[in-house]
Structure 1
Amino acid sequence: MEILWLNQDDVKAALDMPSAMAAVENAFFAHGKKKVQMPPKPYLYFPKHNGDLRTMPAFLEEDDIAGVKIVNVHPENREKGLPTVMAVFVLNSTETGAPLAIMDATHLTDMRTGAAGGVAAKYLARKDSKIAGFVGGGNQAKAQLLALSENFDLECVKVYTRSIASASAFASFAGELLSCDVIISATIQDACNADIVVTTTPSREPIVKEEWISEGTHINAIGADAQGKEELDPMILKNGRVIVDDKTQAFHSGEVNVPLSSGIISEKMICCEIGEVVVGLKEGRISDSGITIFDSTGLAIQDVAAGNLVYKEALKRGFGQSLRMF
């Protein structure tokens, strides 16, 4: 039996942001209709190496597609010349269970996570949003900006990072992508003076204060994806309208996990899941002055939807290598 092997170059050639956003929005729609199987992702924690490993299986019933991703998060990898996040995705036949494709999922993860932020902002941010502020300027920040640029006519992009090199690289990327002002902010507070704020750090303590967030702001909280991580002042969550990607997963490892465990907020204060908004069962933004927060933990259904798209595109365009496994 032969399996299609797709390296990172193949995946990059097969997956652009518009198609990733369409795939992710469809996955959220299926999630909102409760037409998916997606057990909570288990974690292996490596305290000695300040990292973790996760497995993420999912099945989208109406599309009849399934697969699993294995992904790590090791913040200190940059010092070793490696990506913080690396991943492999396996797409499986639902008819036989056999693997159809094995592909690099590092780029896939960046794109589907950026796409999730873009889809969330489409439903939750003010339609007239013009300024985007980024706390963190790595690969995921770039993917988030790429997705936002699909739905918003941005006039100014701000970025704050602790690394001048990272901030400069992000600013160069933003300048090439958009015809707008690009500002390297000296403080997190300045970066948060925006219509849409995006946080993509591995912080384990709040770095964005409530008083820095203006009325009408939408926040994509991307960085908190494991137990104990948080980027936002819990009072932002307490007083804002919080939409999560998946309640079970977010309560364990999303931006809301620490405020929930400490009793600052309760589960009943979480508005809904983004899929419910996409389907039309729940309202996202209810006023121009309200503050909305999207708590993104990253869902396996996003990987399956995007991975299946890559597989189909690769077959159509002749990408990858066929490998005999069984």
Structure 2
Amino acid sequence: MKFIKEHDIERFYTMKDCIEDMKEGFRLYNNKKTYSPVRTILHHAELNSNTLFMPSYIEDLEYETVKVVSVFPNNSGTSLPSLQGIILLTETRNGEHVAIIEASGLTVMRTGAAAGVATQYLAKEDASCLSILGCGAQARGQLKAMLEVRPIKEIFLWNRTKEKAIAFKEEIERFQEWTGKIVVCEDANEAASKADILVLSTKSEESLFDGDVLKPGVHINAIGAYRPDMKEFGADTLRKADQVWVDTLEGVQHESGDLIQPVNASLWSWDQLTGEIAELVTGLKQGRQSPEEITLYKSVGVSYMDTIAAAKVYEQMLKRG
């Protein structure tokens, strides 16, 4: 059995690779070649923390995985990261456990890559202003994916703890490829109002911004909230959105407070959902129809994304010896 560390993955597996692999994953899902039970979440209320257990099998690849991720935000500022994960990769020809993979960075990358796919299909081609609300671990993957798929020239950051946004700004400024403008905003509405692409990557339980501040033509990637009691946007944003897409209907109906809460309050209905991103990738449905449309992608994560990323990483490492 191989043990694959994050620094091994970072040496050769790029965001561009991962975006293409997520497209393949979406196609396999749409062809009913993936099997991903809704994950089990253990909630540690006293710490406002969670441990997630996510199994998945992809028939055509002949691999399955179980991922365990712990999300402990109180670790911020300590020697331990707030997001920690591990993947057990098993080949399904004879059931051999072939690798244990450090999964924190890979989780961030595949979440970013999936949003990158959504952005490729839904954001305006000339979208150049990126706003990120929430500057934690997932924001890194979102930023790299957005830089990969759109010509970003301006970045606006907001975080409840301003110091975290400032630290992220300084981190971005160290990117050799970045020469654009970065602004740390005092107010979430200010950041949201600037966006051509708006990323929401928090564990908020309240709407982060007023839907009325959104510009025509904005595309929203809402990837942070993953429990029914969490939400990053409100019914006002849903009312303004011309298209609402999700990673999987089953997942959001179980876990997305952003959508479940408005449905329960009769402010929105599942019938208003445009579709799953896999339907865009396979051409079954069409995305943005005009530059003025507001589009929204809501993701709670789905485990077949981990399986395809882990399998591709493992196979690349075997090829490289």
TM-score (norm 2): 0.94
Letter matched to residue 62 of structure 2: D
What's the offset of the Cα at 1:15?
2.2
8 Å Cα contact 1:11-1:103 kept in structure 2:
no
1:162 equivalent in structure 2: 160
Give RMSD over aligned pairs: 1.5
CA-CA distance at 1:293 after TM superposition: 0.6
Given that 1:33 and 1:276 are in contact with CA atoms closer than 8 Å, whether structure 2 keeps it comes out as no
Instruction: Give the CA deviation at 1:243.
Output: 0.2
**Is residue 2:209 matched to residue 1:211?**
no
Q: Residue 242 of structure 1 contacts residue 292 of structure 1 at CA under 8 Å; is this kept in 2?
A: yes
Residue 163 of structure 1 deviates from its aligned partner by 2.6
Structure 2 residue 289 is the aligned partner of structure 1 residue 291: no
Indicate the residue corresponding to 2:190 in structure 1: 190
Matched, 1:234 2:235: yes
Alignment of 1:81 with 2:79, yes or no, is: yes
2:94 and 2:134 mapped to 1: Cα distance?
A: 43
List aligned pairs for 1:163-182, cutoff 5 A. 163-175=161-173, 176=175, 177-182=177-182
Deviations, residues 119-158 of structure 1 (Å, cap 9, x unaligned)? 1100111111010011111221121111111111111111
1:248 aligns with 2:250: yes
**1:49 Cα offset (Å):** 2.2
Match of 2:43 in 1: 45
Q: Secondary structure in 1 aligned to 2:208?
A: strand
Q: Which whole-Å CA distance do the structure 2 matches of 1:145 and 1:22 have between them?
A: 17
Give the counterpart of 1:266 among 269, 272, 292.
Answer: 269
User: Unaligned stretches of 5+ in structure 1?
Assistant: 319-326
Tell me the residue number matched to 1:323: none
In the alignment, residue 252 of structure 2 is paired with which amino acid? A
Aligned twin of 1:321 = none
Report the CA distance shift for 1:14/1:52 in structure 2 as closer, same or farther (over 3 A). Answer: same
Counterpart code for 1:96: N
Distance 2:170 2:116 in 1: 21
Report 1 or 2 for greater relative contact order, CA contacts < 8 Å, sequence distance ≥ 6.
1
User: 1:68·1:91 contact (CA, 8 Å) conserved in 2?
Assistant: yes
What is the distance in 2 between the residues matched to 1:266 and 1:260?
A: 5
Using the alignment, how far apart are the partners of 2:220 and 2:145 within structure 1? 14
- 1:207 is displaced (CA, Å) by 1.1
- CA offsets 1:215-273 (integer angstroms, 9 cap, x no match): 11000001111221100022212331110000111112123232223332111111100
Asked if 2 retains the 8 angstrom alpha-carbon contact of 1:71 and 1:86, the reply is yes
Aligned residues: 316
Percent identity between the two aligned chains = 31
Aligned to 2:315: 312
Distance in 2 between residues matched to 1:277 and 1:258, nearest whole Å: 26
Partner of 1:120: 118
